[in-house]
Structure 1
């Protein structure tokens, strides 16, 4: 693991140096500087633009425990191609599982001012078991996704979906989706219901999501609302319903997921960030569609063997696949101190962190061939990060304590890299 981190460190240093070089070049005057600035902004959002098609940088290269190296390409048509229609797709290949994954999709716009789009897609890919995605989440691009390195619990899915995205108002974004999926866990797992064992299953579900930003400021630009300033708190809520016997669906269950983000203070000074995430599932939901608390620690004996890169909002001392829940709540608190201005290029920042998770599982006996614990006693960890020490890299130290403190002191410690870079 340490060798892999050193290899990734070298790659990310190169990316960081090149990015900083681009930033310096954007200080040049005239139109060339403006073009470079727009290109840099596009790359920061994860796209490499061409005349009619924007290549999506998320699909270039990744790594996880199941696929090994995952590489490919994809993208989406841009406004030069059409302002009313779009086509988006990707294809990737995993060198460890020797399998192609892909998605084909497209959409058409119903209304410009409300940015209302109808989208269609066919996807054959993997998804992390226990993870939840909000329909209204704006695109998030990271040069490096830390948790992905160590994830080994995925399920295959073939999903056909139709969705509607709609800006109900300048501060309210909505999303609706109906999807039919065939789900096949890549690990030895079966779900037992009414004395019947399911190793793979069919799902037919509807999702409805709302994202409300009551304190953000928006402006109308070229017939569309654009965020001028982020205000806090922000709220996201999503309801999911899976229907039994609809398009051969095997189960009936529902989920309600909630998230709020709150920042107190000014970004360039001392400020605090609080993130609360909660979810509850009712009915007969398989493990693939339940919850974990975004753990980010691998099961190795020594601290240096567990040395990797800290996530942005993950539990660094919680081991992968250690806990699963059908209802849970996590609270994460970060206190950002002002950067230390040692020089123009060297401005490290200290961040104090504390995290708490609580959850439970109603019928764990239904989930066969997999062992996991409950969070009913409450899980706690605290620590700190020193960010931006070198090329966007820093260090983090986190300690696990409370009800789930482990007998061996070193097993409660997580010592890792951090990586923060903004284009």
Structure 2
């Protein structure tokens, strides 16, 4: 109830500033609770007319019945008995000194025996109301209770009320500037004594209508407010185009006044998403550490197999009579249409595989092209969990139509660590590799549906390689590979390497390599099948060291390499994006050209611009000619500014970017490399240009200009125009 004639002795801004100053003190630093969450996709049947419409057309001046539209009628009939979808989970939620951890004890998703793990990673509501930014329905907003928020919002003290017999200020806030972008509005309920948040309401009303509510209880034991319940409602807003949310699994259809001049309401316009979380059994100051603190969420097989309905009934809202029929209906429907199996197939296709029985066919090996092999036709893949979860066989075979040779690869590995995904294996490969190319062993897991750069490469070396390897995620927030390889290497072009007065046109190399990628700011989820990177955050660091093993298995040359990569991306609320990439490498000792650095060139050495039009690569120099520069010490920098999508039409939404690249390198003992002409990059290499990607169906183009110390005399020789192909599969690497 309201406090009558209560004197307001502070302004809204003063209250907010005090709350900000005390936010670290008031945020519960050591807290755990059991939580129950239920998400439903539903609609209110009372709002739907449910009429059966007759659709007529005019033909030869006569009104003729075309069809009976019963979609609204059938929709109301279904939604009156059940929800469209629902999922539940019971978790133990822990927070310690600003770090959060969720251990999922039980879960069930309508229709699925095994849950879709990616759902658990969706950030629908902020976990803490004191964080610098709120993540609300996968979009970030500045917290009004933050120093940055003071410059972003206007505050209006409406009244003083009483919550749980405590004096509380009710303050409304709104953004200072209006724009077409989503803006955050809301109401803060701030304890007048503690200056802590007692209740929070958040609203967004543009292309989506979002209402988020955080309710708290005042706990006498810690003399502060603790979480009681959170709820979230998402409804369709004003948008001509369809809106995809929740990892693009839910789509709200657009409303175009031109296509619907009468603004008629259809059944789908009443669909809403509701998520409710309730906190039980709060405990304080009992957590000494968060086990496996490199993972934000943990779920094991027991949580999946736990199907005791009584357990859910203890937490569930018994007044929701549409809940149980939803499970019965969707379990039957999903099984009948094999949706669960289709989702599993889709997951593998995203990573470049198509499952056939116990074997996942690797889509990367089917067909490729380069100037040396011509068309490279092949087939390969890896065994899956249907054969064994702890042992796998991987391999491929390929044939080059131009060089006329077969290439093979076979590998077998044993899983010796489940949670760490540690594999110990042995492999054999007889294949080609590009000379002087920077290759991080850890990158082999990245699937590119189309990699255009190798299209025009002609300088390869053949290698027959035995490899013993260990792959693991044992070190927190890393992926790593440790391997020993023994190779017979034969360059497939006119080249000799001179060492100690002897010319070599082939050689043996035994090399130890350690490759590690560290993502310290990313968030991970531990599932029964391994760790998943649920939120990719930057920067990311990649390290790799290699050393030939002198005197081991007939090794010819003594050399080593060190490589490092720094990858940083930042997306702004304005949908602008900055990408920065830095790579450096140092090869020392007696290093043949096969193991040096070529700076990733991607340009044909032809005298006309149109003759040089090929496909743009990724992180490559588009104006640098193939094999133009070789180095044993090099550094590469790339800066890209991506602008928001240009919405030319519903189907044409290109992405415009400005790109600049710089490289520098040196080469020791150039005279040792015989019969092969190249230059060194001591004076550096500069190019800049623009990219207009994904104009239509992933096709775009780029234009780049070469300048600086290695600028060419003929103006047009410095220009590279390329086609680009970027196919979005719905997930980012």
Q: What TM-score, normalized to structure 2?
A: 0.53
Aligned counterpart, 1:49? 355
Is 2:356 the counterpart of 1:63? no
Aligned counterpart, 1:357? 663
Tell me, in whole angstroms, the C-alpha distance in 2 between the residues paired with 1:413 and 1:303.
7
Is the contact made by 1:329 and 1:359 (CA closer than 8 Å) also made in structure 2?
yes
Is the contact made by 1:339 and 1:350 (CA closer than 8 Å) also made in structure 2?
yes
Tell me, in whole angstroms, the C-alpha distance in 1 between the residues paired with 2:518 and 2:478.
5
Match of 1:166 among 462, 468, 472: 472
Root-mean-square deviation (CA, aligned residues, Å) is 2.0
Tell me, what secondary structure is at the counterpart of 1:98? coil
Match of 2:684 among 378, 398, 409: 378
Is 2:421 the counterpart of 1:115? yes
Deviations 1:206-232 (A, max 9, x none): 001221111000111116321110010
Match of 1:245 among 517, 533, 551: 551
5 Å-filtered alignment, 1:140-159, equals 140-159=446-465
Deviations 1:73-107 (A, max 9, x none): 00000111101100001000000000000011110
Tell me, in whole angstroms, the C-alpha distance in 1 between the residues paired with 2:728 and 2:444.
17
Tell me, in whole angstroms, the C-alpha distance in 1 between the residues paired with 2:552 and 2:495.
24
Match of 1:276 among 579, 582, 587: 582
Is the contact made by 2:651 and 2:696 (CA closer than 8 Å) also made in structure 1?
no
Aligned counterpart, 1:412? 718
Structure 1 residue 139, shift from structure 2 partner: 1.5
Is 2:510 the counterpart of 1:204? yes
Tell me, what secondary structure is at the counterpart of 2:510? strand
Structure 1 residue 267, shift from structure 2 partner: 9.1
Structure 1 residue 349, shift from structure 2 partner: 1.1
Is the contact made by 1:44 and 1:422 (CA closer than 8 Å) also made in structure 2?
no
Match of 2:637 among 323, 331, 346: 331
Tell me, in whole angstroms, the C-alpha distance in 2 between the residues paired with 1:381 and 1:135.
28
Work out which structure has the larger RCO, using CA pairs closer than 8 Å and 6 or more positions apart in sequence.
1
Question: Structure 1 residues 67, 270: closer, same or farther in 2, change over 3 A?
Answer: same
Tell me, in whole angstroms, the C-alpha distance in 2 between the residues paired with 1:82 and 1:347.
44
Tell me, in whole angstroms, the C-alpha distance in 2 between the residues paired with 1:267 and 1:111.
40
Match of 1:215 among 521, 544, 569: 521
Is 2:596 the counterpart of 1:290? yes
Is the contact made by 1:135 and 1:176 (CA closer than 8 Å) also made in structure 2?
no
Is the contact made by 1:191 and 1:367 (CA closer than 8 Å) also made in structure 2?
yes
Match of 2:568 among 241, 259, 262: 262
Structure 1 residue 118, shift from structure 2 partner: 0.5
Question: Structure 1 residues 394, 144: closer, same or farther in 2, change over 3 A?
Answer: same
5 Å-filtered alignment, 1:168-183, equals 168-183=474-489
Structure 1 residue 138, shift from structure 2 partner: 5.3
Tell me, what secondary structure is at the counterpart of 2:441? coil
Structure 1 residue 144, shift from structure 2 partner: 2.0
Tell me, in whole angstroms, the C-alpha distance in 2 between the residues paired with 1:186 and 1:276.
31
Tell me, in whole angstroms, the C-alpha distance in 1 between the residues paired with 2:666 and 2:637.
16
Question: Structure 1 residues 382, 186: closer, same or farther in 2, change over 3 A?
Answer: same
Structure 1 residue 333, shift from structure 2 partner: 0.8
Tell me, in whole angstroms, the C-alpha distance in 2 between the residues paired with 1:267 and 1:170.
30
Count of matched residue pairs: 401
Structure 1 residue 389, shift from structure 2 partner: 1.2
Tell me, in whole angstroms, the C-alpha distance in 2 between the residues paired with 1:400 and 1:146.
21
Question: Structure 1 residues 379, 227: closer, same or farther in 2, change over 3 A?
Answer: same
Tell me, what secondary structure is at the counterpart of 2:467? strand
Aligned counterpart, 1:231? 537
Tell me, what secondary structure is at the counterpart of 2:464? strand
Tell me, in whole angstroms, the C-alpha distance in 2 between the residues paired with 1:51 and 1:231.
36
Tell me, what secondary structure is at the counterpart of 1:42? helix
Deviations 1:151-182 (A, max 9, x none): 01100000000000111233122210001000
Aligned counterpart, 1:189? 495
Tell me, what secondary structure is at the counterpart of 1:49? strand
Tell me, in whole angstroms, the C-alpha distance in 2 between the residues paired with 1:118 and 1:206.
15
- Unaligned 5+ runs, structure 2: 1-247, 252-329
Is the contact made by 2:602 and 2:624 (CA closer than 8 Å) also made in structure 1?
yes
Is the contact made by 1:26 and 1:37 (CA closer than 8 Å) also made in structure 2?
no
| Between 222-231 and 101-110, the greater mean CA deviation after superposition | 222-231
Tell me, what secondary structure is at the counterpart of 2:428? strand
Tell me, in whole angstroms, the C-alpha distance in 2 between the residues paired with 1:361 and 1:230.
36
